Structure 1
Amino acid sequence: MPSGVARIAVDLLGGDGAPAVVVDGALRACSADPDLKLLLVGPRDAADEVIGALPVNDRERAGVIVVDDAIAMADSPLRNIRRSTSVRAAAEAVYAGRADAMVSAGSSGAAVAASAHVLGRLRGVRRPGLAAQLPTAHGPMLLLDVGVTLDATMLELVQHAVLGTAYASVALGIARPRVGLLSIGSEPGKGDRLRRAVSIALSDIPLPAGGRYVGLVEGFDVPRGGPADIVVTDGFTGNVLLKGLEGAMSTARSSTGAPGPAGQFEAAAVLLGVAGDVVVCHGSAGGAEIADGIALAARLHRDRITPAVAGLADDLLAELSSAGGLTVRDALGERS
């Protein structure tokens, strides 16, 4: 049973089925965790629905920030970053100390932009990354990035490997985490120029927590697990892979009629690289998945995972950033 008060700011307007599924998820989370407190960020009527459904003696567990505006999936997160939206208000609540962590199932870009802008990034981090934990036959695997760095640079991929290694050590309890780089083959030298350069760079960097770079991995290594505990890729490829896995699992469940572990590839993702606890749920998440995201956010706070990750990764992230930036040309030994 979870213990220790955790105050979670919940974006009521985030997600395809918001606010109804978020209300459902908030109520499920409160029922499962008696030490949980929620700061409901969104329309008054949706917040009142959550509060009204709580037992009378529990209603003080929920606070409200009334916001009626959200960043739609089609909106540009950067152009709308200063608008008074639900996701920005949730990030501001964390920054101000009114909440310990935040959860949103809305636009990933909006959640990332608001979090980075309001909470700030860890020292040296160029761009944060979304890390999704996937179950495999060989134990949990961390896949990142799954949606932020659509055009990732060499430095960003290397920094994500550093952050993922630290997180796997602290949050998943993996000793000497193994890092793999997603490519089109596992043989050395496979992939485009960016992957070849990142592979060379990771081979030369002392990863935190005794982490080891084990080389290139292929797409089928992700759902079955085995070669690596962390798989690093750009946000475009990672998001496509994650949704492909979701679709495959959904189709398999439908065709066999077996209930299966519903939503196992719709896990909430942790935003690594920002100075705060942020969880981003899948846009199509239902109430159960929203509740899981809230529980994850509470665990991040209670176990002080983000400060521990920062402690392991801070110096290396800053060193990588201040070195003038890693370049593909330099890594491959190419002349200008």
Structure 2
Amino acid sequence: MTRSERRAARIAVDLLGGDDAPAVVVDGALLALNADPMLRLLPVGPQVVLDDLLARLPAAHRERTEPVPVETDGTLPVHAAVRLVSAERADAVVSAGATGSAVRSAVAHCGRFPGLRRPALAVTVPAARGPLILLDVGAAPDLTAADLVRHAVLGAGYATATLGVARPRVGLLSIGTEPGVGDELRRAADRELAAGVLPPDTDYVGLVEGYDVPVGGVADVVVTDGFTGNVLLKGIEGALRLSRGAAGALRLNHGTDGLRPDRAVAGAVRCGPGVDAGPDGADPPVDGDGVPRAAALLGVAASVVVCHGAADASDVASGIGFAARMVAGHTVDRVARMDRVFRELTRAPGGVRGDEATTGPADDDRRPR
């Protein structure tokens, strides 16, 4: 889909999310507006921060920016941003703040998929043999076997929507590939997945190991609990930094972000037509159809993108661009269709009609680091 063929995406941005907010978020918003002439932003934050952003906006960008002030009464901008989506004033939310706040707000205001207990954070890993989806990487550390099966379905739908995989191969992360290895959680989930519960055009390839994630080629989707997934993501980051040295020709963005190639190997992330590099040769702010430097929250009825708290301006801009692509590609709807097929096949209880979402409490405010 070309820019002329899609409507402008309206992205609500949490200006106070992140370790270096609001400065890097404001800078990232400006980069995103420069990169995509159709993008519309709804920055959410205190009036003083909005005034700074508006003062720096070129005249051409002001008509594409709708500031949303929040009161200084303790209301988190991410909550206000999510409410913009539920009120249909925005199409997606981007935040580099606490993951738990984003998850809880999305569940409360937009709803979970029917019968889903815990949403999942999914990242795209540019593995050596081709990109793959890894989930969960921090939204839900404590899962059941049924949760892992459901997340496998979400990941398969996400791989189809974002990677264009017609028949996703799903693997379950464990400590070996032999039958019966792993803890009881992994053994129970393996039995359920091996029983053929996944939707048609989705294959379960069995157990995979940690090295299968950065190497790739075995599965298009690797599913695990949020604790193990986050630890694995950090281990890959550390290994890459160690092998590449301090300069790091390839690094992994902290925590819930995807692998981020440095400019020395910038070809690993392709830039879409018309997307220029950032100032002074920095990484492009938007990754075109390449690997996003942010995580998607799957299982909620909204496009929610989570950047890491240590994200820089380019990372925030990448997250905003990724959110716009999710909207243009109807990613949430496509994942929901895969999930609906699973529920119909397994008659998973939802407590509501199949086209409705359930709401309820989610996770705490701990951010994966």
TM-score bin (small chain): 0.7 to 0.9
Count, aligned residues? 311
* C-alpha contact (below 8 Å) 2:161/2:329 kept by paired residues: no
Could you say if the C-alpha distance between residues 251 and 68 of structure 1 is closer, same or farther in structure 2, counting changes exceeding 3 Å?
farther
1:52 pairs with one of 32, 39, 55: 55
* C-alpha contact (below 8 Å) 2:240/2:248 kept by paired residues: no
Partner of 2:177: 186
Could you say if the C-alpha distance between residues 284 and 251 of structure 1 is closer, same or farther in structure 2, counting changes exceeding 3 Å?
farther
Structure 1 CA distance for aligned equivalents of residues 162 and 209 of structure 2: 25
Partner of 1:310: 336
Q: CA deviation at 1:320?
A: 5.5
What amino acid is the match of 1:227?
Answer: V
Structure 2 CA distance for aligned equivalents of residues 209 and 281 of structure 1: 32
Structure 2 CA distance for aligned equivalents of residues 34 and 183 of structure 1: 44
Q: CA deviation at 1:262?
A: 6.8
Partner of 2:11: 8
Q: CA deviation at 1:61?
A: 1.1
* C-alpha contact (below 8 Å) 2:33/2:61 kept by paired residues: no
Partner of 1:208: 199
* C-alpha contact (below 8 Å) 1:29/1:295 kept by paired residues: yes
Partner of 2:316: 290
2:150 pairs with one of 153, 159, 166: 159
Partner of 2:348: 321
Q: CA deviation at 1:84?
A: 2.5
Partner of 1:332: none
Partner of 1:196: 187
Structure 2 CA distance for aligned equivalents of residues 16 and 180 of structure 1: 34
Q: CA deviation at 1:204?
A: 1.4
Q: Does 1:39 align with 2:33?
A: no
Structure 2 CA distance for aligned equivalents of residues 262 and 190 of structure 1: 29
Contiguous gaps of at least 5 residues in structure 1: 71-82, 325-336
TM-score (norm 1): 0.87
TM-score (norm 2): 0.80
Partner of 2:363: none
Describe the superposition over 1:179-231 as per-residue Cα deviations: whole angstroms up to 9, x where unpaired.
Answer: 11111111111100110110010011342351111011111111111111100
Structure 2 CA distance for aligned equivalents of residues 98 and 304 of structure 1: 17
* C-alpha contact (below 8 Å) 1:125/1:321 kept by paired residues: no
2:66 pairs with one of 42, 63, 66: 63
Q: CA deviation at 1:64?
A: 1.5
Partner of 1:114: 105
Please identify which structure carries the higher helix content. 1
Q: Does 1:17 align with 2:8?
A: no
Partner SS for 1:216: strand
For residues 85-104 of structure 1, what are the structure 2 equivalents within 5 Å? 85-104=76-95
Structure 2 CA distance for aligned equivalents of residues 5 and 227 of structure 1: 37
What amino acid is the match of 1:108?
Answer: T
What amino acid is the match of 1:220?
Answer: Y
2:235 pairs with one of 244, 247, 272: 244
Partner SS for 2:133: strand
* C-alpha contact (below 8 Å) 1:165/1:208 kept by paired residues: no
* C-alpha contact (below 8 Å) 1:124/1:314 kept by paired residues: no
* C-alpha contact (below 8 Å) 2:140/2:226 kept by paired residues: yes
Which piece of structure 1 moves more, 23-32 or 55-64? 55-64
What amino acid is the match of 1:196?
Answer: R
* C-alpha contact (below 8 Å) 2:13/2:95 kept by paired residues: yes
Contiguous gaps of at least 5 residues in structure 2: 261-292, 352-369
* C-alpha contact (below 8 Å) 1:138/1:225 kept by paired residues: yes
Give me the CA root mean square deviation.
2.0
Structure 2 CA distance for aligned equivalents of residues 20 and 320 of structure 1: 48
